[in-house]
Amino acid sequence: MRLFDRNRRQVILTPAGHTLLSHARQVIAEADAIPAALTHTAALRIGHVSWLPPQLRDLDEPAVDIDEWVLPSHVQQDRVAAGTLDAAVTVSLADHPTLTQQLLWSEPLPAITPIGHPAASRGMVPAAELTVLIDRDEHTWGSWNAWATEFAHQSGADIVTTTTTTNGALTGTGLFAHCHRLRRPVLRCARRHTATQPPDLITLAVTNPTPLWPWVLATRADDQRPTINLLRHAAANTMKQP
């Protein structure tokens, strides 16, 4: 089958050559579209710290794959920036040069105190009467330490520095132990836990001001894939009010 005619001046496609060229261009165009199609349909890998809104976890479009590594906010944001995660739900940190942080929920944090403390009968405690715990382990607690220190400075709350290895963690049974030891209202850490609060401790609302922990969706600012934009849109629609 002849695909072209040649003479001394030029080469001309035959009808069969035109047909083959048309099909070849179509095949090349479809091949070029494969990476974009795979990017559009591949599940997004999402990391988190301890809270992940079900509206994002259970999305049908785009599909999401929840990363099993539960790590501190600053570590998760670094993973997003490096491209090992597509997005992460973290606390809002100082502006990252390559990330966009989209507010999801300003979570009001309560305090806990022994039942015998005067604040227990009021059911609330002013922030200036709080104790805010920070930990010497910056790798694990750096995000919390930065936020808690700023809140304490703005509200007049006391700061107590602990060491996880000797005093227990800042959440769960460690937090309860700190409250028992200090015998005064202690701000509850935003990190989730499954420990049951002892009956001799009571939960209090915090006022003047109310501590608001800012959960955000962190994505790369230059990532404009359709799936990422769908995720951002879903996040905007699920934003919770304090």
190 contacts: CB under 8 Å, gap ≥ 6: 50, 51, 91, 107, 109, 144, 213
Q: Round to whole Å and give the CA distance between 65 and 137.
A: 30
**Residue 99 and residue 126 in one domain:** no
Q: Round to whole Å and give the CA distance between 242 and 133.
A: 23
**Domain presence at residue 242:** no
The percent of residues in the chain predicted with pLDDT above 90, rounded, is 57
pLDDT of residue 1: 74
Which DSSP category does 26 fall into?
Answer: H
Classify residue 156 as left (phi > 0), alpha (psi -120 to 50) or beta: left
Q: What is the number of structural domains in the chain? A: 3
**Residue 206 and residue 115 in one domain:** yes
**Residue 63 and residue 83 in one domain:** yes
**Residue 194 and residue 165 in one domain:** yes
**Domain presence at residue 133:** yes
**Residue 200 and residue 141 in one domain:** yes
**Domain presence at residue 141:** yes
Q: Is the pLDDT of residue 177 over 80?
A: yes
**Domain presence at residue 2:** no
Q: Is the pLDDT of residue 184 over 90?
A: yes
Q: Is the pLDDT of residue 38 over 50?
A: no
**Residue 35 and residue 150 in one domain:** no
> Rounded to two decimals, what is the model's pTM?
0.76
Q: Is the pLDDT of residue 18 over 80?
A: no
**Domain presence at residue 3:** no
pLDDT tens, 91-132? 998 878 899 999 999 999 999 999 999 999 999 999 999 999
Q: Is the pLDDT of residue 22 over 60?
A: yes
**Residue 88 and residue 169 in one domain:** no
pLDDT of residue 8: 61
Please name the residue ranges forming H helices in the chain. Answer: 15-41, 54-57, 73-82, 118-122, 138-155, 164-167, 173-182, 226-237
Confidence of residue 208 (pLDDT cuts 50, 70, 90): very high
The percent of residues in the chain predicted with pLDDT above 70, rounded, is 83
**Residue 98 and residue 122 in one domain:** no
Residue of higher predicted confidence among 237 and 51: 51
Residue 179: what are its φ and ψ, rounded to 5°?
A: -65, -40
Q: Which amino acid is at 156?
A: G
Q: Is the pLDDT of residue 200 over 90?
A: yes
**Domain presence at residue 219:** yes
The enclosing domain of 146 has a CATH number of 3.40.190
Tell me the average pLDDT of the chain: 86
**Domain presence at residue 71:** yes
Pairing of strands 186-187, 158-162: unpaired
Residue of higher predicted confidence among 28 and 52: 52
Nearest Cα residue to 162 out of 143, 147, 175: 175
| Residues 141, 134 contacting (CB under 8 angstroms) | yes
The enclosing domain of 51 has a CATH number of 3.40.190.10
Confidence of residue 31 (pLDDT cuts 50, 70, 90): low
**Residue 184 and residue 221 in one domain:** no
SS3 for 36? helix
**Residue 77 and residue 123 in one domain:** no
Q: Is the pLDDT of residue 21 over 90?
A: no
Arithmetic mean of pLDDT, 45-72: 87
**Residue 145 and residue 99 in one domain:** no
**Domain presence at residue 5:** no
**Residue 52 and residue 82 in one domain:** yes
pLDDT of residue 11: 62
pLDDT tens, 138-176? 888 889 999 999 999 999 999 999 876 555 689 999 999
pLDDT of residue 241: 43
154 lies in which domain range? 110-210
Pairing of strands 44-48, 87-91: parallel
Q: Round to whole Å and give the CA distance between 242 and 240.
A: 7
